[in-house]
Structure 1
Amino acid sequence: MQRSGRLGVGIIGAGHVGPVLGAALAGAGHAIVGISAVSSTSRDRAEALLPGVPILEIPEIIERSELVILAVPETELTALVAGLAQAGLWQPGQLVLHTAAPFGTDVLAPARALGAIPLAVHPAMSFTGTSLDLVRLQESFCAVTAPGAVQPIGQALVIEMGAEPVLVEEKDRRAYAEAITTAASFSAAIVGQATAILASIGVDSPGQVLGPLVRSAVENALSAATAGTIDVASLAQNSFGADAPEETP
Structure 2
Amino acid sequence: MAYTLNIIGAGHVGRVLGRLFAAAGAFAVGDVLTRSHAGALDAVGFIGAGRAAPAMDQMRGADVWMLAVGDDQIGAVCAQLALCHPLQGAIVFHCSGAKSSAQLAPATQAGALAASVHPIRSFADPAQVAQHFGGTFCGVEGDAGALAVLTPALLAIGAQPVAIEAQAKTVYHAASVFASNYLVTVLDAALRAYQAAGVPEPVARALAQPLAAESMANVFRLGAPAALSGPVARGDMDTVARQQAALAAWDGPTGELYAALVPATAGLARRKTNIGKDPS
Query: For residue 224 of structure 1, what is the amino acid of its counterpart?
Result: L
Residue in 1 aligned with 2:175? 179
Deviation for aligned residue 1:31 = 1.7
Q: Distance in 2 between matches of 1:218 and 1:135?
A: 26
Q: 1:214 to 1:133 in 2, by over 3 A?
A: farther
More helix by share: 2
When structure 1 is superposed on structure 2, of 214-223 and 201-210 the one drifting more is 201-210
Aligned length: 228
Alignment of 1:39-54 (within 5 A): 42-43=39-40, 46-47=43-44, 49-51=46-48, 53-54=50-51
Q: Is the 8 A contact 2:32 2:40 kept in 1?
A: no
Deviation for aligned residue 1:160 = 1.9
Alignment of 1:88-167 (within 5 A): 88-167=84-163
Q: Is the 8 A contact 2:133 2:159 kept in 1?
A: yes
**Partner-residue secondary structure (3-state), 2:116:** strand
Q: Distance in 1 between matches of 2:186 and 2:52?
A: 39
Higher RCO (Cα < 8 Å, 6 or more apart): 1
Q: Distance in 2 between matches of 1:192 and 1:70?
A: 35
Q: Name stretches of at least 5 consecutive residues in structure 1 with no aligned partner.
A: 238-249
Deviation for aligned residue 1:88 = 4.3
Q: CA deviation digits over 1:109-128, x for unaligned, max 9?
A: 11011111111111111112
Query: For residue 101 of structure 1, what is the amino acid of its counterpart?
Result: G
- Give the share of equivalent positions with the same residue, in percent: 23
When structure 1 is superposed on structure 2, of 87-96 and 157-166 the one drifting more is 87-96
When structure 1 is superposed on structure 2, of 87-96 and 184-193 the one drifting more is 184-193
After TM superposition, the score normalised by the length of structure 2 is 0.68
After TM superposition, the score normalised by the length of structure 1 is 0.75
Q: Is the 8 A contact 1:125 1:137 kept in 2?
A: no
**Partner-residue secondary structure (3-state), 1:233:** coil
Q: CA RMSD in A?
A: 3.3
Q: 1:217 to 1:49 in 2, by over 3 A?
A: farther
Q: Name stretches of at least 5 consecutive residues in structure 2 with no aligned partner.
A: 234-280
Residue in 1 aligned with 2:259? none
Residue in 1 aligned with 2:16? 20
Deviation for aligned residue 1:219 = 3.8
Q: 1:138 to 1:205 in 2, by over 3 A?
A: farther
2:35 to 18, 38, 56: 38
